[in-house]
């Protein structure tokens, strides 16, 4: 995907000047902490376990250049790509920290009102409830939760979408650009979730108008949550939701 090249080129210089202090690959999320204390998280994409070894690269990356993990953006192994995106978020920490705090304005910014048709890939339960409370409908597809079918989702996405909500785990899966190629012209689109790189310039070739991500504020608590196999809710307790909206 072109997005991997863009992320790499935007952060490769920073990566050469930073080293990895901690790498924690949890059951739900992966966390990377750099030598300067900046940190980032990303969804841990674990497919069917064929053995007890999930991260097959034997290298010990702690103490080594962050550029080594950044290069794993181009890996075909999805768990290695999870590590790379967590590294992206750690390297981009300073820029992400300058983003606005999430003020729960997403549905207004997506212009969702009664009768709106929202396409959602990656099922965000609390967001679905808020959308339906406005009298809008949701066409959802989530491979992991076995919600919907891809064929039906794409058909509705192309023909019946007033707004699009896309999980940022699609960056790890490698499907971001494929999904967005089906978005109707003019439909506002958000990339959402703790995996989201708050790096707007990396997405300016795509119809993304909003980024919603997570900025760790307490590395100890975030890494502990990752080690304990906790999910988004636990991580958010030690983090700040950050938000970027494209100027209209």
DSSP 187-247: --EEEESTT----GGGGTTTT--EEEEEEES-HHHHHHHHHTT--HHHHHTTEEEEEEE--
Residue 162 confidence (pLDDT): 96
Residue 1 confidence (pLDDT): 80
CB-CB neighbours of 6 under 10 Å: 19
With H, G, I as helix, E, B as strand and everything else as coil, classify residue 32: strand
Token pair belonging to 110: 């997506």
Q: Give the chain's domains with CATH numbers.
A: 2-97 (3.30.390.100), 101-214+238-245 (3.40.50.11590)
Residue 48 confidence (pLDDT): 66
Short-list 44, 24, 25, 32, CA closest to 144: 44
Contact 12, 70 (CB under 8 A): yes
pTM of the model: 0.94
**For the chain, which ranges sit under pLDDT 50?**
none
Residue with tokens 């958000």: 190
Residue 46 confidence (pLDDT): 86
* Main-chain dihedrals φ then ψ at residue 21, nearest 5 degrees: -90, -45
Residue 203 confidence (pLDDT): 97
Residue 49 confidence (pLDDT): 67
Residue 176 confidence (pLDDT): 96
């Amino acid at each position: 995907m072109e997005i991997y090249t863009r992320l790499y080129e935007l952060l490769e210089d920073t990566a050469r000047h930073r080293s990895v202090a901690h790498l924690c690959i949890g059951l739900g999320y992966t966390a990377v902490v750099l030598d300067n204390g900046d940190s980032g998280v990303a969804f841990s994409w674990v497919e069917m376990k064929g053995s007890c070894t999930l991260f097959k690269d034997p290298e010990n990356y702690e103490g080594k250049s962050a550029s080594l993990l950044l290069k794993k953006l181009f890996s075909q192994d999805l768990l290695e790509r999870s590590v790379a995106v967590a590294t992206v978020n750690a390297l981009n920490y300073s820029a992400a920290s300058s983003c606005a705090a999430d003020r729960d304005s997403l549905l207004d910014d997506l212009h969702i009102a009664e009768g709106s048709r929202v396409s959602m890939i990656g099922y965000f339960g609390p967001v679905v409830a808020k959308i339906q409370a406005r009298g809008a409908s949701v066409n959802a597809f989530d491979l992991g939760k076995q919600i919907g079918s891809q064929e039906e989702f794409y058909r509705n996405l192309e023909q019946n979408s007033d707004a699009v909500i896309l999980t940022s785990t699609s960056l790890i899966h490698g499907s971001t650009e494929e999904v967005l190629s089906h978005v109707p012209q003019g439909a506002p689109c958000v990339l959402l979730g703790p995996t989201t790189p708050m790096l707007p310039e990396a997405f300016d070739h795509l119809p993304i108008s909003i980024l919603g991500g997570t900025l760790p504020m307490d590395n100890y608590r975030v890494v502990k949550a990752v080690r304990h196999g906790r999910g988004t809710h636990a991580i958010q307790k030690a983090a700040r939701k950050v938000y970027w909206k494209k100027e209209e």
